[in-house]
Amino acid sequence: MSPENASLRELSDALAAGKLSSVELTQAFLDRIAAANPRLNAFITVDPEASLAEARRADERRASGTAGPLTGIPVAHKDIWCARGWRTTCGSRMLANFTSPYDAHVVERFAAAGAVLLGKCNMDEFAMGSSNETSWFGPVRNPWNPDFVPGGSSGGSAAAVAARLAPAATGTDTGGSIRQPAALCGISGLKPTYGIVSRYGMVAFASSLDQGGPFAKSAADLALLLNVMAGFDARDSTSLEREPEDYTRCLAEPVAGASAGRPLAGLRLGLPRQYFGEGLSPDVARAVEAALAELRALGATTKAIDLPASDLAVPAYYVIAPAEASSNLSRFDGVRYGHRAAEYGDLIDMYCRTRAEGFGAEVKRRILIGTYVLSHGYYDAYYLKAQRIRRLIADDFARAFGEVDMIAGPTSPTVAFRLGAKTADPVQMYLNDIYTIPANLAGLPGLSIPAGFGEGGLPVGLQLVGNYFDEARMLGVGHQFQRVTDWHERVPPGY
C-alpha cells in the first residue's frame, strides 16, 4: 500500500493492524509537504514537532484499544479554523501573526477522534475569492499545472489533497469554496446542509452562508470525515440540534430497493436547463454528459428541470455576502488583536491606517459594497431585494425536489484558468461560482466529485445537490459512481 494514495479506510486498517504507525504516516506526509509546498504554496503553517507529538499520542491511544476510525490519520485544516497554539491567519496580513488561544468546534472534534493536525492551509483572504490569488501569503498553484489556479477560497486545502500532501483536509464553503476548488483540482468535496457543522471558531465571512466541510480523494472518505465534523454545538446559534447519524450508511446501497448491477435504480436526477446553456464551456459539458451517462448506466434516470431564479443567484449573493462581511470584519480594527498600523495620529486615524494596511483589495471591495447596500436609503433597494431573491431560489429548489431526488450538473463552468487571467475583472471571477452559489443561498448540501478532464488535461467536477440533510444518500451516489470510474484515483504528474 502506498500511504499517500490510500483511502482513509485503508490507512485506518493499516494503523489498526500495526503495518505502520501514526508517527511514520505523519512523517511521510510532512516529508511530502517539505518537498512540494515551495512549488504549490498550499500550506501557510506547518509545525512538524507539534504534529509528531499528536501522532505519538495517537499511537498510544491505538495501543490502549481506544482508537476510532480516524485515530492517527493526518488531516490539514483551512487556515480559517482556529486551532489552539497554531497561527490562524485567514490568508490576511491583518492576522498574519495571530495565534489562536482556543480550538474551533471542528478542530475539537478531529482532536477527540484522534486525528493528527498536519498543518494550516492557504486560502483567499478572509475566504473572499474564487481562485486563491487574494492571499497575503501568495497564490496557491494547481498541482495539475502550476500556471493555473486551484480554485478558491479553500484552494490550499484542495491542492494539498490533490497533490497527496494530506489524505484529507477541511474547508469552508460560502458560495462554492469547497466544491469549486475540489472540481478544479480533481478531488471530492462536500458542503453540508447549513447548520450541520458548527461555525464556532471559524473566522466569519458571511454568517448566513458560511459552512464547513471536508475534502478527500473519494466520497467514501468524505463520509468518514463528516461523521467527525457534524454535530450540535451550543456555542453556535445556527448549529442544528439533531440526532447523530452515520454518513457512511448509504455507501453500500444509496437507493432503497436497488440491485447489485443497478445500484442507482429508482434515483431521479434533475438536470437544470440553466446549468447547461450559455456560459458552460464545451469541454466541461462533454465530461459532465459522460458522467451522467455513467449514472444512467448505474440505474439513475434523468429529467430536465427549471430553476428560473438561479440566474439571479450571483447578483443576490454579491449583495448579501458583502453586507455580512462588512459587519463581521468590523472587529478587525487594530485594538484587541491582529495588525496595527505603526504610525497614526489619533484613534480614528489608527482604525483607518490599520484597515488600509491590513486588508487586501478584494476584502476592501466587499466591505465597501456591503457598507453601501446596508446604508440608509439603499437597504430596501439592494439588501432586502436580494433576500427576497434568496427566498425565490429556495422555493425553486423545493419545487424541484417534488419531482426529482437530486440535482446534477457541472460544478464550475470552466476548468481551472491561468493565474492572473481574471484578477482585473471581478465580475468574471464572480461568475466562476454561478453553479455553486444557489445551494448556499438555499442552505442545501452540495457534493463535487471528479468527472473527467477538459482542455489542457485539467480536471472537471460533477456536482450533486440534495435536499436538506440528504448528505448520506448523496455520498452513496458519489461512491457508486466512483466504483465504476477512476477519475478520483488520478494523481497530478510528479506527485
Chunked into runs of 10 residues, the chain (495 residues) has average pLDDT values of 91 96 98 98 98 98 95 98 98 97 98 98 97 98 98 97 98 98 98 98 98 98 98 97 96 76 94 95 98 97 97 96 97 94 96 97 96 92 96 98 98 97 91 96 98 98 98 98 98 96
Q: What is the pLDDT of residue 1?
A: 67
Distances, alpha carbon 82 to alpha carbons 51, 101, 103, 199, 204, in Å:
16, 8, 5, 11, 11
Q: What is the pLDDT of residue 164?
A: 98
Is 237 one of the catalytic residues?
no
pLDDT in tens, 209-246: 999 999 999 999 999 999 999 999 999 999 999 999 99
Q: In what order do the strands lie in the sheet with 268-272?
A: 43-45, 116-121, 74-78, 168-172, 212-216, 188-191, 446-453, 459-466, 406-410, 268-272, 301-305
pLDDT in tens, 169-209: 999 999 999 999 999 999 999 999 999 999 999 999 999 99
CA dist 453 and 487 (Å) reads 9
Expressed as residue numbers, the domain containing 439 is 1-495
CA dist 475 and 6 (Å) reads 19
**Among residues 92, 130, 154, 177, which one is catalytic?**
177
Count of domains in the chain? 1
Supply 435's cell numbers: 453553479
Please tell me whether residue 432 adopts helix, strand or coil conformation: helix
| Cβ contacts of 483 within 8 Å, gap of 6 or more | none
Is 135 one of the catalytic residues?
no
Is 78 one of the catalytic residues?
yes
**Among residues 12, 21, 22, 78, which one is catalytic?**
78
Is residue 413 within 8 Å of 153, Cβ to Cβ? no
Closest CA to 174 of 125, 140, 212: 212
CA dist 340 and 333 (Å) reads 8
**Among residues 131, 153, 188, 448, which one is catalytic?**
153
**Helix crossing, 219-229 with 105-113: angle to 10°?**
110
CATH number, domain of 32, equals 3.90.1300.10
